[in-house]
A and B are shown apart, each in its own frame.
Chain A
């Protein structure tokens, strides 16, 4: 396991050889990010504490401290198309340990929101961005989470039709999951909050579900299944 991790890390460091022009470094990306998020990324001195404590670092294509360095250098495109930003579990270990008081988890949130806005989604990690959108759609429809709807919709749209089917009967019998949604009474209020947040935050909420995204993911899943058959 450890050796496997090292090999992915060395691949990353090879990938990190980019030509960075003067214009990239001077690009407004860093300044806009610091302005909007209120986090001073330029304070980072690359101690690596965030990556050392990150529970999901072993799955990431760039380590959290590498992402922060890339942000400092203005490498917007590379950062937004990385899988790392989606793999962050928002556990806040990095934020709470940073000796420079940088809210790294908030940076990851900011980058994900920007990636949604710019329609940049990583090819390898489509499930997670898709899940977030389905989750929110679910809340917008019912006001409270309807697990059955969430799982069903996610399984269909992500191409993993029979995922966790073995758990469903147990959950039903123990009455841990319901067949029908439990709607809140004042749905208009909930819809209003979604509508207003979208308007004020300048988010295109109409694109809650990306057809392109779903298609790409289904294609990937099918290819994987065919390769497995081989």
Chain B
């Protein structure tokens, strides 16, 4: 399996461990990820708030670069990048008016030929959980996590077509396959405050605090995510949440690729566990094995 890989800005900075663990997992499973050369930012939320055409043209430029690599499928790991690329692709396929305008902007002809997929989708639906089961070396039994999907992995459903809208289960299925217990909880697709991290930190603290509280109440020891923004809001802001609401959760926030990597027998040092703000060493030492 060969894919064009779009890491996105976060995976090269604040979510470096997501990038590291994704590459490790992919190579362990024989999935070839080729980074799109000289990729540019997808524009994220500020682009579609400010200039509609720009929010389509930036992702389309990346899709064109992927197309030039002779790759018909692009893999993104960041839920926001995935959503932006997928929405832009959908516009290029179905909206002739926008297709003409965006093609004029990027100066090339694109009609939505490339397929956009999330890495979680590749693992669960393409590689298959049955195949994965045979590759699992270490079952991470004893670990109890809450799978948190966030907003943009499943929404808008007409475009992403990835998972159930209100009760997604891809990550839960994956966790069960590697022996991790996934708790049933109601905040799977609740919003963490997303891009208000810098502008309205108070909103982020409240929403992320609610998510941590709910996961804690349902008995989870950690939260598993598939989005760098969710991870940074829950992990980086946990100290501030502790200060403001006087609640100490001490809950590590993992990327699904990190736990998957552990179960595949990849050296924990290569999976970037040292980059977390809430130190996961204690939990992993207790529940899994020495880190």
Chain A residues in contact with chain B, CB under 8 A? 55-56, 59, 87, 89-93, 95-96, 103, 109, 112-113, 116, 127-128, 130-133, 135-136, 139, 143-145, 147, 150-151, 154, 158, 163-164, 167, 170-171, 174-178, 182, 184-186, 189-190, 192-194, 196-198, 200-201, 203, 205
B193 CB within 8 Å of chain A: yes
Stretch at the interface among B37-45, B117-125, B129-137: B37-45
Q: A128 to B200, Cβ gap below 8 A?
A: yes
Residue numbers in A under 8 Å from B225 (CB-CB): none
Residue numbers in A under 8 Å from B193 (CB-CB): 55, 89
Residue numbers in A under 8 Å from B195 (CB-CB): 89-90, 131
Chain B contact patch, size range: 35 or more
Q: B277 to A164, Cβ gap below 8 A?
A: no
Question: B40's closest neighbor in chain A, by CB?
Answer: A143
B156 CB within 8 Å of chain A: yes
Instruction: Give chain A nearest CB distance to B125 CB in angstroms.
Output: 21
Offer 10 A-B interface pairs, CB within 8 angstroms, sorted by A: A89-B196, A92-B152, A96-B165, A147-B13, A147-B14, A150-B198, A164-B198, A170-B277, A193-B57, A196-B105
Q: A175 to B275, Cβ gap below 8 A?
A: yes
> In the complex, A178→B193 CA distance in Å?
24
Question: B272's closest neighbor in chain A, by CB?
Answer: A174
Q: A175 to B104, Cβ gap below 8 A?
A: no
Contact for B14 among A103, A154, A176, A184, CB less than 8 A = A176
Q: B104 to A196, Cβ gap below 8 A?
A: yes
Instruction: Point out which of B43, B155, B275 has the most chain A C-beta atoms below 10 A from its C-beta.
Output: B155
Q: A96 to B104, Cβ gap below 8 A?
A: no
Residue numbers in A under 8 Å from B199 (CB-CB): 127-128, 130-131, 154, 158
Assuming the A-B contacts A55-B207, A128-B199, are A113 and B49 also in contact, with contact meaning beta carbons closer than 8 angstroms in the complex? Answer: yes
As a 0/1 sequence over residues 158 to 183 of chain B, the CB contacts with chain A under 8 angstroms (1 = contact) are 00000001000000000000000000
> In the complex, A22→B199 CA distance in Å?
39
Question: B204's closest neighbor in chain A, by CB?
Answer: A89
> In the complex, A84→B193 CA distance in Å?
14
Q: B57 to A196, Cβ gap below 8 A?
A: yes
Q: B41 to A145, Cβ gap below 8 A?
A: yes
Question: B236's closest neighbor in chain A, by CB?
Answer: A167
Residue numbers in B under 8 Å from A139 (CB-CB): 40-41, 43, 47, 58
Q: A184 to B275, Cβ gap below 8 A?
A: no
As a 0/1 sequence over residues 191 to 211 of chain B, the CB contacts with chain A under 8 angstroms (1 = contact) are 101111011110100010000
Residue numbers in A under 8 Å from B156 (CB-CB): 92, 95-96, 103
- Which B residues, 19 to 68, have Cβ-Cβ distances below 8 Å to chain A? 38-41, 43-54, 57-58, 61
Assuming the A-B contacts A144-B12, A176-B14, are A127 and B51 also in contact, with contact meaning beta carbons closer than 8 angstroms in the complex? Answer: no
Contact for A113 among B50, B58, B275, CB less than 8 A = B50
Contact for A185 among B13, B38, B51, B191, CB less than 8 A = B38
Residue numbers in B under 8 Å from A133 (CB-CB): 46, 50
Residue numbers in A under 8 Å from B57 (CB-CB): 193, 196-197
> In the complex, A135→B46 CA distance in Å?
7
Q: A197 to B155, Cβ gap below 8 A?
A: no
Q: B277 to A136, Cβ gap below 8 A?
A: no
Residue numbers in A under 8 Å from B53 (CB-CB): 197, 200-201
Q: A197 to B236, Cβ gap below 8 A?
A: no
Question: A185's closest neighbor in chain B, by CB?
Answer: B38
Residue numbers in A under 8 Å from B16 (CB-CB): 175-176
Residue numbers in B under 8 Å from A163 (CB-CB): 198, 201
Q: B38 to A186, Cβ gap below 8 A?
A: yes
B290 CB within 8 Å of chain A: no
B106 CB within 8 Å of chain A: yes
B9 CB within 8 Å of chain A: yes
Instruction: Give chain B nearest CB distance to A217 CB in angstroms.
Output: 11
Assuming the A-B contacts A176-B275, A189-B61, A196-B104, are A145 and B9 also in contact, with contact meaning beta carbons closer than 8 angstroms in the complex? Answer: yes
Q: A144 to B191, Cβ gap below 8 A?
A: no
> In the complex, A163→B238 CA distance in Å?
16
Residue numbers in A under 8 Å from B54 (CB-CB): 136, 193-194, 197-198, 201
